[in-house]
Amino acid sequence: MSDFENLPIDDHSRQLLAEGGLRFGLVDTADSDMVRRWLLAEDRGFHDPLPSDELLAAQARDLQHDRVSGVWDPTSASPADPIGTVRSWLMGLTVPGGDTVSAWAISAVTVAPTHRRRGIARELLNSELRTAQRAGLPLAMLTVSEATIYSRFGFAPAADQATLTIDTNRVRWTGPVPGGRLHIVPPSSLLDAAPAIFARARVRFPGEIDRRPELWRYILGLNPLKHGERDDLVAVRYDDEAGDLQGFAVYRFEHEKTGYPSRLHVTDLVAATDDAYAALWRYLIEMDLISEVHAPLRSIDEPVAWQVSDRRAVQKTNEHDQLWLRILDVPALLSERQYFAPGAFVLTVSDNLGLADGEFLLTVDADGRGQAHPFSGADAPADAAHITLSIAELGALYLGGMSALVLARAGRVGEETTDAAARLDASFHSPYAPWVSTSF
Ligand SMILES: CC(C)(COP(=O)(O)OP(=O)(O)OC[C@H]1O[C@@H](n2cnc3c(N)ncnc32)[C@H](O)[C@@H]1OP(=O)(O)O)[C@@H](O)C(=O)NCCC(=O)NCCS
């Protein structure tokens, strides 16, 4: 979409905030003073320490092509500093079956502590959703710091993350031993090749999202350091027997007082093939002088637990929802993903913001292709399963990780026909657990 970053501020929210004496507007990303003030307001919102000038300059570069908005209070002590921030951009999301849907990513939602709980964030979010919908996007998404804020806006958790901690003294590698080669390389040497490997890896996992160039620079240790960060990353790459790069891991050692490292911290592991996956994990787990491998940001469903001699040595902790979806166009989105059993479904969807409610018919053919459209009542097959749910529950189900049956038992979806939830699960459930390996 061209000129995305200049899509105008939603009139309704602008007027509402103006009635409270506040100005809601876009940040001109060519105006370095304005950008600097916006970035500092965002840092204040998340209680981050003051960034270095070098880091600020890098962050300013990173938001050049984003839609950056702020709220200003002309009566505050420093009226040029925003008291509210939000930022959005277009980002690809993998859906079940491996296709990519273009979504409206929202980030940097902050309101100054002096201005909280008077509805400013509400208008920031409402305006983002309405603008996204007007721009024709079928969904919005975000990663959340607090899980209690976003369901009122129709968002729901749809893809997860977990931390793996492997006690390497307890395990032998029992998985495959691929025939390719491993090479220790400077992380920066992966900058050109890593995005293509990731693009191949991510299509397997519903919930995975694009990684932007600035994220790659961060992952590969090329950005100015944030407060408390270290610059001691190591990378290993796996080339298959033909010599082609198929995966890599980035990691660092955590040194004990004795002088020996004893913990290996994996900051990223991307594998385009199962061979690359096995070779990289084997390399990390068999590292000498290491008693523990610690890997955050992993899937909740990692094969590595089945590739070692003692499954209990692989602990999964901090399992949590990471990516939240807000559906804006039900038929368009339902028609984008693959399904895993044929069927016909009538979905009666409520939406307290009135953006995407209605009754929809989804038919899934024998090849798993889905067609959805608003339902007139006339053309539903007699055996259609009928479900009543809110737009948030549909968001939770969309990537195929959540069970409609569980939501029905929780009283969150209604079954209007016998076994409707179980039939929905048979079609919707994804063989790969939805996973997102980053946050934004
Ligand atoms: C979270 C934050 C943006 C909220 O801003 P705000 O302007 O005070 O929020 P609003 O007054 O518009 O509140 C909107 C709704 O969200 C609720 N809400 C706001 N902050 C909340 C919180 N931290 N936890 C739970 N609910 C919250 C409000 O109660 C209100 O709901 P209601 O109208 O149904 O009662 C602000 O407190 C902040 O900047 N926090 C630190 C940064 C942060 O956590 N950002 C979120 C990133 S994921």
If asked whether residues 131 and 18 sit together in one domain, one would say yes
CA distance 25 to 56: 21
CA distance 198 to 342: 31
Q: What is the pLDDT of residue 184?
A: 98
What are residue 142's DSSP bridge partners? 324
If asked whether residues 146 and 185 sit together in one domain, one would say no
Q: Indicate whether 433 belongs to any domain.
A: no
Given a cut of 70, the residues of the chain with pLDDT beneath it are 1-2, 259, 379
If asked whether residues 211 and 314 sit together in one domain, one would say yes
Q: Within a 10 A sphere around the Cβ of 1, how many other Cβ atoms? A: 11
Contact 210, 195 (CB under 8 A): no
If asked whether residues 96 and 222 sit together in one domain, one would say no
Which residues carry out catalysis?
150, 440
**145 ligand 1 Cβ < 6 A:** yes
Q: Is 370 annotated as a binding residue?
A: no
**144 ligand 1 Cβ < 6 A:** yes
**148 ligand 1 Cβ < 6 A:** yes
Q: Indicate whether 127 belongs to any domain.
A: yes
Q: Is 292 helix (H, G, I), strand (E, B) or coil?
A: strand
Q: What is the CA radius of gyration of the chain?
A: 23
Domain enclosing residue 265, as ranges: 162-321
Q: What is the pLDDT of residue 2?
A: 63
Per cent of the chain over pLDDT 90 is: 91
* Closest ligand 1 atom to Cα of 144: 48
CA distance 50 to 44: 8
* Closest ligand 1 atom to Cα of 46: 42
Q: Indicate whether 246 belongs to any domain.
A: yes
Contact 125, 153 (CB under 8 A): yes
Name the residue with tokens 């993350």: 161
> Nearest C-alpha to atom 28 of ligand 1 is from which residue?
117
Mutation to probe ligand 1, out of 122, 129, 151 (largest number of atoms < 8 A from CB):
122
Q: Indicate whether 434 belongs to any domain.
A: no
What are residue 249's DSSP bridge partners? 236, 269
121 closest CA partner among 27, 22, 233:
22
Give the burial string for 157-194 (b: 16+ CB within 10 Å, else e). bbbbbbebbbbbeebebebeebebebeeeebeebeeeb
If asked whether residues 176 and 317 sit together in one domain, one would say yes
Kindly give the interhelix angle for 120-134 and 11-19, rounded to the nearest 10 degrees.
160
Q: Indicate whether 121 belongs to any domain.
A: yes
Q: What is the pLDDT of residue 195?
A: 98
CA distance 237 to 277: 11
Kindly give the interhelix angle for 53-62 and 32-45, rounded to the nearest 10 degrees.
100
If asked whether residues 170 and 314 sit together in one domain, one would say yes
Per cent of the chain over pLDDT 70 is: 99
Q: Indicate whether 440 belongs to any domain.
A: no
**47 ligand 1 Cβ < 6 A:** no
Is the dihedral angle over the CA atoms 294, 295, 301, 304 positive or is it negative? negative
Angle (CA) 426-432-438 rounded to 5° is 135
Q: Is 236 annotated as a binding residue?
A: no
**152 ligand 1 Cβ < 6 A:** yes
> Nearest C-alpha to atom 3 of ligand 1 is from which residue?
110
User: pLDDT for 226-254, tens place per residue?
Assistant: 777 777 999 999 999 999 999 999 999 99
Distance 402 CA to ligand 1 centre (A): 26
Concatenate the DSSP letters of all residues of 71-122 into one string.
Answer: EE-TTSSSTTS-SEEEEEEEEEEE-TTS-EEEEEEEEEEEE-GGG-SSSHHH
Q: What is the pLDDT of residue 1?
A: 64
User: In the chain, how many domains are there?
Assistant: 3
254 closest CA partner among 301, 289, 222, 281:
289
Task: Kindly provide the residue ranges of all beta strands, DSSP E only, lying in 117-199, ordered along the sequence.
Answer: 139-143, 156-167, 181-185
At 134, give phi and psi (nearest 5°): -60, -30
